[in-house]
Amino acid sequence: MSTKQISQQSENRNIFQKMGLPSQPVILAPLAGVSDHPFRRVCTELKADLTYVEMISATALNYESKKTYEMLKRHESEEILGVQVTGRNADDTASAVAILNKLPFETIDINMGCPVKKVVKTGCGSAILKDPARVYETVKKCKEATDKPLSVKIRLGWDRQMITAKEVADAAEKGGADWLVVHGRTRADDYSVPVDLEGIAALKQQLNIPVIGNGNLFCESDVKYMKSMTSVDGVMISRGALGNPWIFESLKFPEQQLSLDDWLQTVMKHLDYQMAEYGATGSGHVCMRKHLLWYAKGWPGVKSLKDKINTSIDLNAARQHIAMFAEEMLNKGHLVRTPLNFLQEGRFQWDPKWDMDRKLDRGVGTDGLEAH
Ligand SMILES: Cc1cc2nc3c(=O)[nH]c(=O)nc-3n(C[C@H](O)[C@H](O)[C@H](O)COP(=O)(O)O)c2cc1C
C-alpha cells in the first residue's frame, strides 16, 4: 500500500471519531416496522452507539408523503441518529438525500440491500446490486447533495451466480461513500443461509473506507467471531436486538447476566415510551405486542404469557400481564434470563409470525414504494 493510501485510510477511519462515536461502533440497524424512536431510545440507553430510522422511500420523501415524515420523527432525547433511504434511480435518491440533509440527522445511509420483492421491482433496494455503474452514479450524486457522512448498505450480490460485492463496493468507495455496511448474504439467500464471512473479509481487505459487518450477530461471541474472521471496523445488529436490546450492553460487559429486575424495568420503560408516543391502542398496541412477544423469549413457561399478550385489548392490559408474569418468575425463583445464544445452541428458529420481510411484501413500511 502506498503512503498516500495509508494516510487516506487513516483519514477515513477517523470518520467515526469525528462523529463522536467509538472507533469500533456497535450500531442498531434500520429495521422496518421496528426501529421507531421508542425502540431506538431503549437501545441507546443500553449502549447502542448509533441507531437508524427504518428505511424510507426516496420517491415518497420527494412527494412529501405525510406518512414518511412521521416515520422520520426523532425524539428530543436522541443525541445522534441516522436515516436510511432507497431510491429507484440516482436522481431520485439524490434529491431525497438533499431533503434529508436539511433534517436533523447526523448521517445518511443508502439502502442497496433490501430484498423485498415489492421494493426490488421498483428498482430500489438490492436491485441496484446488479448495476455497479448505477451504484457509482447514485453515491456520487448523493454525496454532492449532502455534507453529512454518507454510507451504503449492501448485500454480497443478487444471488450466488451474481456476486457483485467487489464491483459494488469499489463503485461506492469511488462515488464517495464514507463507509460501507455489508450483510454477508445475497439477495436470494434467506436467513437459513450462513453469513459469508470470507465475502465480508474480502471487502474489508479491498476498501480504504471502514467496513461494518452485519448478519447473524446474536451475542458477544458472534460479534467476536465476525471481527476475528473479517477485521471489520464495527458491527451492525439487526435481529439480534429484537427482544434483546441488552445485546448492546452485553457486548461491552459480556460477563453480565440479564436479571429479572433489569428485564422488567426495560420492558416497562419501552411500554412507557410506546404509550407516550402512540397511546395504548391501535397501531402502537399492535407494534408493541410484537416487541413483547420477542421480550418473552428466554423465560421458562412463556406460552401463557404469549397468549395473554396476543389477546390483550390494549397496552395497559399487556403491561399488567407482564407485571404478573415477572411476579410469577420471582416466586418461582427464575431471577436471570437464559442467554439468547441462538446460533451456538443451534436453536435459532425464525418464527414466521415475526417475519417482517414478508409483512413488508404486504406493504407495511413501504410507504410510497408500492406506487412506483
Ligand atoms: C424486521 C426486519 C426489518 C428490517 N428492515 C431493514 C431496513 O429497514 N433497512 C435495512 O437496511 N435492513 C433491514 N433489515 C435487514 C437487517 O438490517 C439485516 O441486514 C439482516 O436482517 C441481516 O442481519 P441479521 O442476520 O443480524 O438479522 C430488516 C430485517 C428485519 C428482520
- Tens of pLDDT along 322-355? 999 999 999 999 999 987 755 444 434 444 444 4
pLDDT value at position 371? 29
pLDDT value at position 365? 40
Cell of 300: 421458562
Q: Does residue 162 share a domain with residue 140?
A: yes
Substitution site in 28, 31, 126, 360 for ligand 1 pocket (most atoms within 8 Å of beta carbon)? 31
Q: Measured in whole angstroms, how far is the alpha carbon of residue 57 from the centre of its chain? A: 16
- Contact residues of ligand 1, CB 6 A cut-off: 29-34, 54-55, 84, 111, 113-114, 153, 183, 214-217, 238-240, 356
pLDDT value at position 254? 87
Q: Is residue 137 part of a domain?
A: yes
Q: Does residue 119 share a domain with residue 90?
A: yes
Reply yes or no on whether 287 is catalytic.
no
Smallest CA separation from ligand 1 atom 10, residue: 30
pLDDT value at position 1? 60
pLDDT value at position 340? 73
List, for the chain, all residue ranges whose pLDDT scores fall below the cut of 70.
1-13, 341-372
Set 114, 142, 219, 287: catalytic member = 114
CB 184 within 8 A of CB 213: yes
pLDDT value at position 362? 34
Average model confidence (pLDDT) across the chain: 90
Return the SS3 of 186.
strand
Q: Does residue 220 share a domain with residue 275?
A: no
The boundaries of the domain holding residue 323 are: 260-332
Query: Which string of b and e fits 67-98 if b means at least 16 CB within 10 Å?
Result: ebeebbeeeeebeebbbbbbbbbbebbbbbbb
Rounded distance from Cα 332 to ligand 1 centre (Å):
36
Rounded distance from Cα 166 to ligand 1 centre (Å):
21
Q: Does residue 178 share a domain with residue 103?
A: yes
- Which numbered atom of ligand 1 lies nearest the CA of 218? 26
Smallest CA separation from ligand 1 atom 5, residue: 31
- Which numbered atom of ligand 1 lies nearest the CA of 113? 11
pLDDT value at position 192? 84
Rounded distance from Cα 324 to ligand 1 centre (Å):
32
Domains of the chain: total? 2
Q: Is residue 356 part of a domain?
A: no
AA letter at 42: V
Rounded distance from Cα 108 to ligand 1 centre (Å):
16
Q: Does residue 15 share a domain with residue 146?
A: yes
Q: Is residue 341 part of a domain?
A: no
CATH of the domain at 250: 3.20.20.70
pLDDT value at position 360? 40
Rounded distance from Cα 371 to ligand 1 centre (Å):
22
Query: E strands along the chain, which residues?
Result: 26-28, 56-57, 82-86, 107-112, 150-159, 162-163, 179-186, 211-214, 234-237
In sequence order, the 6+-apart residues with CB closer than 8 A to the CB of 3 are none
Q: Is residue 8 part of a domain?
A: yes
Q: Does residue 246 share a domain with residue 264?
A: no
Element (H, E) at 289: helix 282-295
